[in-house]
Amino acid sequence: MTSDSPAYQLQRLLDDRSAHAAIIGLGYVGLPLAMAVARGGFRVTGFDVDGTKPGLLNAGTSYIGAVANSELAKHVTSKKFQATNDFSQLRECDVIIICVPTPLDRHREPDLSYIEASGRQIAQTLRPGQLVVLESTTWPGTTREVLKPILEETGLVCGTDFFLGFSPEREDPGNASFETVTIPKVVAGLGPEASKLVETFYAGAVKHVVPVSSPDVAEAVKITENVFRAVNIALVNELKVIFSAMGIDVWEVIDAAKTKPFGFMPFYPGPGLGGHCIPIDPFYLTWKSREFDLPTRFIELAGEINVAMPRYVVEKLALAMDSRHKKALTGARILVLGLSYKKNIPDIRESPTFKLMELLEQRGAAVDYHDPHVTEIPPTREHSEYAGRKSVPLEAKSLASYDAVLISTDHDAVDYPLVSKHSKLVVDTRNVLVKNGLSGDHHVKA
């Protein structure tokens, strides 16, 4: 690395924290990362195609629970952070981090359109001495096979003029025990100079950096983490179905099993998988494995089991209504508790509650929902028909008017004693009634 090389010049900027960083995508991953980078001493500009976000952020208003208004306002006031939708400003930045969604399309194939669009946007202003890092979860090889060619269409050479790396996001919305700064950061670059630059940058923002040999390995790390969770959740979901048929409480089994100090890790069943990662990311590896004519039997079986859970829950609800009240789902009024995919957060991405509502309505039920964190359903790509529907109040009189209450998400803010006391039937997919010390003949686990 000579003193006049782009790598040397960028290394100096990173070493003294004078580098200017860009974060593309200011959602659950990008905004907390922007705060961590600003806290580390770098100047940060956040970019988002949503025209409403920059105005909110520049006014010190956060829409992400993990980012407090006070911290955001501090970085805005000190000019360590600003947000914009003017992508021409990427030219001014030394490090560009891509934190955009990687969904599946309607055929459950990887949709890299957001990554590709970000790459083309960067290419318009790409200059020597810039480091580009992808954080979006994707199949192993994406950084090298998809993003690198887009950027090299400019005529600049990766590893000589500009530098490219991958560092998988590891956010866990709602988990108060960890934040971006304290979660170990896996990093990798394409080539030795890029590797050093990526490691130096993230070392200035987080407490523990874990270098690996290549972006392909780093991409595989994130896929492996989520495959592990998907497969184990599918396992306990299958055990739930089996043990239920045997009259055994799977939650009691798991709680006893986890007392073993070695060789067991507890996972818990639910009404289906939600969130952006676990229901989606494993299928990126499934898709990529076809290139090598290799099956991914565990992943696909886990997907089948987890996808089947909403139907299983609805059937349990239907049977409970029939056996206890001789009432069918057709014409029934059902209240679903919890719209977000996990407790205590407003994140509704891939929430299984949508599928539960859809299945119940297909069976002729009238469905309402209550969620203290989601007062109104925003527009979504997959469930546009629910946009604008509002959370109903949780009151004794209204609870008694429903034929059944279905607990889909176990938010702490819900008054479960009230639900238990005034509901005709409660179907609990999260074992939250037992956790709250509640019991009754009208409680059913699903």
The answer to whether residue 158 is catalytic is no
- End-to-end, the C-alpha distance of the chain in Å comes to 61
Catalytic residue among 93, 99, 158, 277: 277
Q: What are the residue ranges of helices labelled H in 272-429?
A: 281-289, 297-325, 352-362, 396-400, 416-422
Name which of 350, 353, 250, 342 is nearest 303 in CA terms: 350
Which distant-in-sequence residues (6+ apart) come within 8 Å of 265 by Cβ?
232, 258
User: For residues 257 and 296, what is the distance between their CA atoms, to the nearest angstrom?
Assistant: 29
Strand residues in 95-251 grouped as ranges (E): 95-98, 131-134, 163-166, 185-189, 209-211
Tokens coding 433: 């009634």
User: For residues 176 and 178, what is the distance between their CA atoms, to the nearest angstrom?
Assistant: 6
What one-character DSSP code corresponds to residue 286? Answer: H
- Asked if 274 and 226 count as a contact pair (C-beta separation under 8 A), the reply is no
- Asked if 258 and 309 count as a contact pair (C-beta separation under 8 A), the reply is no
Which distant-in-sequence residues (6+ apart) come within 8 Å of 404 by Cβ?
317, 320, 321, 332, 334, 335, 423, 424, 425, 426, 427
Which residue numbers are catalytic?
277
